[in-house]
A and B are shown apart, each in its own frame.
Chain A
Amino acid sequence: MSPAPLLSVSDLRVGFATEEGVVQAVDGISFDLRPGEVVAIVGESGSGKSVTAQTIIGLTRANNARIEGSVKLEGEDLLSASDSDLRRLRGDRIGMIFQDPMTSFNPVYRIGDQIVEAIRAHRETSKSEGKRRVVELFEAVGIPNAERRVDDYPHEFSGGMRQRAMIAMALALEPEVLIADEPTTALDVTIQAQILGLLEQLNRERNLATILITHDLGVVAEVADRVLVMYAGKVVEEGTLDEIFYDPQHPYTWGLLGSLTRIDRPRPHRLPQIAGSPPSLLDLPDGCPFRPRCPHEFSKCPQYPGLEARLPEAADHRDRCWLTPEEKKAKRLVEGQIGLEPPPEVRQA
């Protein structure tokens, strides 16, 4: 019934050899991206979400990188693609935008020139033709005074405008997939909403399949179709937007949801936060990686939980928690809302 996946990631593992050992930044993530779909990958820093995104287009290739698994774009394996093949599809078939638009543009070149450069890397186009295209793109992403702005330097744009320009650049060659790596993190809250709105509009109008990377579940609520929650390099829960928001199965997800400030609920007593900090990837505990921060830890947790669908009616809703669905339903409510309490002693792995 659903169309064939555009992008198919299967058991992707990315490790980096460092002086202190191998850091397994990504430990087996799998997902499919269908045309027009928006998949969100959510997690704290160090969870492996950015590494996943960058590995898809080969930006993490390095001498000390160990990349395993498969990433297929319409059947073509990207992990084993040659550098020149990869270069060809970057920007053209997969566009990518990054977190900080200020530093993501070269400060010494005009923004228009940098976008034209992207176009001319893949198409035979004259500079003036390219510039015209840039003006069109600017208008499409909502940058006013497009004709003039094309000749401006990055620091002459405001943060929100810069991110729009980034998006324009990513769309210049009309790719089938857009990867957005924390596109709103560096922006003010009001601008965040605008950019998200833009991404949602582009997804709708152009059927643009999108992978959205973020640490903020609130961002995801606007746009995503499916959500993957990552922790310490592993996917700890995945499902549709509704499943994650209304029936979350993993304590970490509860913590993330609990830490969202919601205007439709009364204000909680304490500032909501997940106690403790993300673990060092060199020193992970046995079994479930979330154990040190989880108040619901019990005897089965030292056994590494697999990513399985534990709800019979939701075959695509998977999680990594040994608690039974009934226990989860009960334990996830803190003062009447979904949340996570700090564990008895806050422990760090």
Chain B
Amino acid sequence: MKIPPHELAKALADATAHAAGLSRENAELQSVLGAMREAVVAVGPDERITRVNAAAAPLLGMTADSARGRLLGESLRHPVITRVARAGLSGKVDEGEMEIFVPAKNASPGGSSALARRLFQVRGTPMPGRTGAVLVLHDVTQLRRLEVVRQDFVANASHEIKTPVAAIQGVVETLADAPEMNETDRARFMDILTRQTSRLSKIIEDLLTLSRIERGLAVDLAGFSPEPLAPIGSAAVEACAPRANAAKVLIEADFDAGLALPCDPSMIERALVNLLENAIKYGGSGGRVAFRIARENNQAVLEVRDFGAGISSEHLPRIFERFYRTDKARSREQGGTGLGLSIVKHIAESHGGRVSVESSPGAGATFRIHLPLAPPPAALPA
């Protein structure tokens, strides 16, 4: 069969235009996929990977190009993703959650092999005509973590509040029902009442403090003039002196007298008192507490360090949460409400700063409040 040259040329031009269109569509698709936060993996009917986006590459442990053509099970082995992929290939939508280990994002330079545990929600959707399946992986690690924090908070808060209420209610009922109770028992019950009432009122006071700070001191901060930090530090030491003396703990203060920044001095003092009280409680009797206020780069660092038993690493990421306790029995015995560190964190954040903690078992703990120092006057707009 003979095709006239002009028709051949036209067919060729059409095909080229079509190909150009396709490659433009392809490029568009690539950039849409590339912009996605979710990982996308497409597989063919033989379970071989046909396409992955940039977010998927680290999960597969290889570049997008080298993943193409490999069996899904070779690159990402997990029963959930296999199940979801097969459902997609047989024309069904399926989803599930799986836990996998992926290279940590902020791995230290030397530790390139560091892996982080992540939780992914996987959803598989069939492609038209059973030509394959698309798997979308959504990272829900943070979401699930926050759910745990919230559930723990609700459970801990109800425990912390209902326990004193239970004791108070029980004692009141007991006293009302037993008018002939002997003096010794009566005195013991009155003790319980006094102790639990004061505990409940401390918790309520701390919760109110937290909600006051949350309502936004940060907005009003502009109204405060620069306050020197050293006198605030001295006031905190003063406030903690009776406790420190009782526990035979020496507070060694080392303040940079020149540091000042706009802040609510009573709030900062409160935060420092909380940190000092903790250090006195957990630093061990007869010990010492190092209390430093210093400039570091463009920050004021308020640091309280004890030399006690320290805190094991599993607690450190959660220690500033409300009602989080590393040792419930011990901290309650010490009269804590479980809110002290959370208040410190909120005060620091309401001043545009942050908190940090460093500790290892046996080596004590160091708590720091980092507050941004005001930019030098020259940098301020006239």
**A and B, one complex?**
no
